[in-house]
Amino acid sequence: MRILGIDPGSRVTGFGVVQVLRNGKLQYIASGCVRVAKGNLGDKLKTIYDGVTEIIQTYQPTVLAVEKIFMARNPDSALKLGQARGAAILAGANQTIDIAEYTALQIKSAAVGKGHAGKPQVLPCASRCRHAAARPSTAAPKIKTRSRNEACLMIGRLHGVLLRKEPPALLVDASGVGYELEAPMTTFYELPAVGEKVTLYTHLVVREDAHLLYGFAREAQRRLFRELLKVNGVGPRVALAVLSGLSDEEFFHCIADEDVARLTKVPGIGRKTAERLIIEMRGKLPKEMGTAPSSVINSRPMTPADPISEAVSALVSLGYKANEASRAVRNVATQGLSAEEIIRQALKGMA
């Protein structure tokens, strides 16, 4: 079980993420805050809602824990705290995770044994609990999610220079920092040439042993990727394979037509997973997912040193067996084609 604790506030909303291990101990995952800039009430609540939503999508908690009753010095403060709390709870409800509410009395009793304990008693206990929690081998960063007008350290979008593209891997230089990403082939088809500027929507997956960043040419692709991750038995690798073998529109039609046979041709998807995809994704896809992909922007073919080998390697990385990948590429007239185009035609041939 992974728990996300939220401490709502009209100016700063704090969060902490812990993993409950099999032995009952807690493992620290991450902590940080959502800072709200000055502005009207609607913008402030949207900042809290968006921030909590992004935290949930990043760390994938199973439970959202939030304080049930607030104590405030005046009615105005109580109202503002209640509004912040409501925005956080709504974010959790929209992400379909369980929500648990606890009174301050319950929290203090569990922490120090006294429901009316003050901060001087609670803070040392909370600090000891955090340091006693088993830390992952790669320490999770403390993340501050800011307002729409401020920089967001959750890496939701990257804009920089494309340094390398070797399907399914990408390397993007953004302000002097090189970001390694993995992307589906539908994104590779829309990439510019190496050395040109590129903008990618990203999704960060935090694990105990690694932080994995995935990139997408369009926001609709990322949205579909996130919907796929919610399906039991579908992880990032399978989700990438789905988006590589099917366009958004093709996947939409597979779900609508209950085309199990087409879905099972994607590496990593058996009949049971395909049936589960159809059941869980039916009715969940946003309307824009069923529309045709947007036009390709600044897409120019790159001529790699060995596009055939690169295509075979990419297909193997997507989950196809080496002999299947080689056979699929051999069936393509590769003369003068880029690796991306060879992969596109090979995937069509295996459909």
pLDDT digits (tens, 9 = 90+) for 321-338: 666 777 788 788 777 787
Which fold would CATH assign to domain 2-145?
Nucleotidyltransferase; domain 5 (3.30.420)
pLDDT in tens, 253-305: 888 888 888 888 888 888 888 888 888 888 775 454 444 443 333 333 333 34
For residue 34, give the 3-state DSSP assignment. Answer: strand
Residues paired with 181 in a beta bridge: 170
Give the CA angle between residues 87, 89, 94 to the nearest 5°: 95
pLDDT tens sequence across 241-251: 898 888 888 88
Residue 171's pLDDT is what?
A: 93
Query: Which residues have CB under 8 Å from 194's CB, separation 6+?
Result: 162, 163, 164, 165, 302
Task: List the Cα angle 33/35/39 in 5-degree steps.
Answer: 160
Q: Which residue has the higher pLDDT, 133 or 103?
A: 103
Which letter does DSSP use for residue 202 in this model? Answer: E
- The answer, yes or no, to whether residue 130 has pLDDT greater than 70, is no
**pLDDT digit string, tens, across residues 152-208:** 346 788 999 999 988 889 999 988 888 999 999 889 888 999 999 999 999 988 776
Distance between CA atoms of residues 167 and 300, nearest Å: 16
**Non-local CB neighbours of 283 within 8 Å, separated by 6+ positions:** none
For the segment 30-44, the average pLDDT, to the nearest whole number, is 86
Specify the range with the lowest mean pLDDT, choosing from 34-38, 39-43, 49-53, 119-123: 119-123
For 157-290, CATH number?
2.40.50.140
Structure tokens at 193: 């040439």
Q: What is the pLDDT of residue 71?
A: 55
**Which residue ranges make up each domain of the chain?**
2-145, 157-290, 307-350
CATH number of 307-350: 1.10.8.10
Taking alpha carbons only, the member of 257, 220, 264 closest to residue 242 is: 264
Distance, in Å, from the CA atom of 145 to the CA atom of 151, rounded to the nearest integer, reads 8
What is the model's pLDDT at position 322? Answer: 66
Residue 22 exposed, middle or buried by CB count within 10 Å (0-12, 13-18, 19+)? exposed
